[in-house]
Structure formats: C-alpha cells, structure tokens
Amino acid sequence: MKRKKLSNGVLIPTIGLGTWQITDKKQMHALLESACEKGYRLFDTAAAYHNEMAIGRALAELPIGREELFLSDKVWNTCRGQGAVRKACESSLKKLKTDYLDLYLIHWPASPRLYPDWAKINADTWRGMEALYREGVVKAIGVCNFKAHHLLELEKTAQILPMVDQLEIHPGMLQADTVAFCREKEIVVEASSPLGNGQILQQEALGRIAEKKGKTAAQICLRWGLQKELVIIPKTANADRLSENMDLFDFHLEPEEIDRIDRMPWCGGIGIDPDEVTEFG
C-alpha cells in the first residue's frame, strides 16, 4: 500500500476504508476481515458513526498487529473545547480497544450560522487536539470540512497546524480554493465521499473514460483522486467493491482526461456547507 507523508513525518495510506452508516457488528467484522486481506490498513470512523465498538471488536479479533493499522477517528460537534475533546478521545479509544489513534480529526467547524464566536470555539477545540498530540495519545491531528477561511482563522492561534483536512471531494465538487490553501500549508487533503452519493457514476463523461480504460466509473473517480494527490477513503459494505476500489494502479489518466473530469458540473454528493451546517446527529 502506497503512503503519503504528513507534515510531522507520519505516513498515511493513500487508500482507506470509510465506515459511515455501517453499524452491524457481524457485517463490520466480515468487512474488516476482507479489507485487511485485500491490503487495507487505513480505517476511518467517527464518534457520530456509532460504530467504534464494532470496529474495535472486529480488529481485535483479526490476526494483524495494531502497529500495521492506521485508525482515524473524529470528535463530534457536541464535544468542542479542550476538556470535552479529551473526554471524547478517551471514550473513542476505549470503544476501539486501543491506547492511541493514528489520526484524530475535528468533524465540523463551529458554524457561523449558529455561533458568532465560531473562530474562538474552533481555536479552543484545537488547543485540546494539540494537547492530545503532544502527549502521544494521537499520532497526528487534523480537521474535516474546514474551508480556507476556517483554516486561516485557526492559524492565528494554533501552535501546530492541522496535518490533514478531510473534505468532500469528487468529480463535480473540487473544493479547489481550500485544496490550494492546504497545499500551501503542507496540509494533506483526504477525500471523503470520493464517489459522491453514487449519482456521479452515471455520468457520460466518466463512462466514456471508463470504457476506454477497461475500468469502472468508480475506479476512474478514485484514480482521478489519487492523481490529484489526495488520500481517498471510499465507503463500501460490499466485499467485491473492496477489491475494485483498490485496483487503481495498473492504469493512468491522461492530462486531458483529468481536465475533462475537473470540468464536470455538480452531479450528486453530500454537499453540506460548513458555513451553514446546523448541529445534527
């Protein structure tokens, strides 16, 4: 599995498995067992996914050492602030049956729609993340769904910049300004929902490229993400798709094909605006 170096030297696999909406314990065990066999090592979860216990139990029963795994988790909106972040992390560690996380992320920035002091709230939460990192409880820290202006405000008080920003990125949703800002600050960008909500897989532009390459539309989307130097974490509960989502290294997209995909209009996804999001979940 290829890996990308974070700003602090930690190596993160370039392909991982997203686990959103997968909560059944038996299904999770079978899925992670199959994923490990196929070479997956990065597993992405969140407190809000309500599946940490299922993941922890499954991984504990698999014949693979903790040091081989890269576990990524997220603190939820109701646990903002230094003290709350610590308690949330301790709870997640217990559920995952581990004494450290490879990556810990703030799930959403405080929304300007709800909080006039959103920047102060984000800064206070980030101080809690920095403390966990310094203590070695987490090996790397980052954020999710932070736009460039959120990161600019965070930079004013942060002693350590985020090492990762996990964003919804897929054809039709490039987040170009934020990605460019992250590149400038040496923040690795993770693409969550790299296949959108599935609707993009029906797009003719992707279908034509897929037919030419002898691949699926999903593989074209994922290869596009890799060639844009993203870490991709597609979610699937299908064992066959696990193999398909990993089979991305025997073909290459040409510059004109990348450009054609870049110019695709919005064609399906999650599409939640971090500046407008209300406290849900």
**Could you give the CA distance from residue 129 to residue 138 in angstroms, rounded to a whole number?**
9
Helical ranges in the chain per DSSP H: 25-37, 52-60, 82-96, 118-134, 148-155, 176-184, 204-213, 217-227, 239-246, 255-262
Q: Given 49, 100, 104, 115, which residue is catalytic?
A: 49
Q: 10 Å Cβ neighbour count for 53?
A: 16
- The three-state (H, E, C) secondary structure of 159-192, written as one string: CCCCCEEEEECECCECCHHHHHHHHHCCCEEEEE
**Could you give the CA distance from residue 277 to residue 110 in angstroms, rounded to a whole number?**
9
- 49 annotated active-site: yes
Which amino acid type is present at position 110?
Answer: A
Residues annotated as part of the active site: 49
